[in-house]
Amino acid sequence: MNDKDFVLSERQESCSSSLRQAPRPHVLVADDDPGSCRFLGDGLRSLGATVETASSGEDALERARGGKFDLLLLDCRMPGGGALHVLEQLRGEGDAASAHSMAVATSAELAASDRGDLLAAGFSDILLKPCTLTDLRHVLALVQVEPSASVLDDGAALSSSGDATTMRALRLLLREELALLQHELEQLRGDPVAFAERLHRLRSSCGFCGATALAEQTMQLQQQLSPRGPAPAALASFNAVLRATLQALDG
The predicted-structure confidence for 160-175, as pLDDT tens digits, reads as follows 888 899 999 999 999 9
Say what the pTM is. Answer: 0.64
How many other CB atoms are found less than 10 A from the CB of residue 241? 22
Query: Alpha helices, DSSP H only, in the chain?
Result: 3-20, 34-46, 57-66, 83-91, 112-121, 133-140, 154-161, 164-188, 192-209, 212-224, 232-250
98-155 residue pLDDT tens: 988 889 999 998 888 888 888 888 888 899 999 999 999 988 887 775 544 578 999 9
Nearest to 239 by CA among 47, 72, 60, 62: 72
Question: In the structure, what pLDDT confidence band is assigned to residue 13 with cuts at 50, 70 and 90?
Answer: very low
Q: What is the mean pLDDT of residues 19-45?
A: 87
Query: What pLDDT score was predicted for residue 29?
Result: 98
Query: What pLDDT score was predicted for residue 189?
Result: 82
Q: What letter would DSSP give residue 103? A: E
Question: 3-class SS at 32?
Answer: coil
Question: In the structure, what pLDDT confidence band is assigned to residue 183 with cuts at 50, 70 and 90?
Answer: confident
Which domains are present in the chain? Answer: 26-143 (3.40.50.2300), 154-250 (no CATH)
How many other CB atoms are found less than 10 A from the CB of residue 18? 16
Query: What pLDDT score was predicted for residue 15?
Result: 42
Query: What pLDDT score was predicted for residue 19?
Result: 36
Query: What pLDDT score was predicted for residue 138?
Result: 86
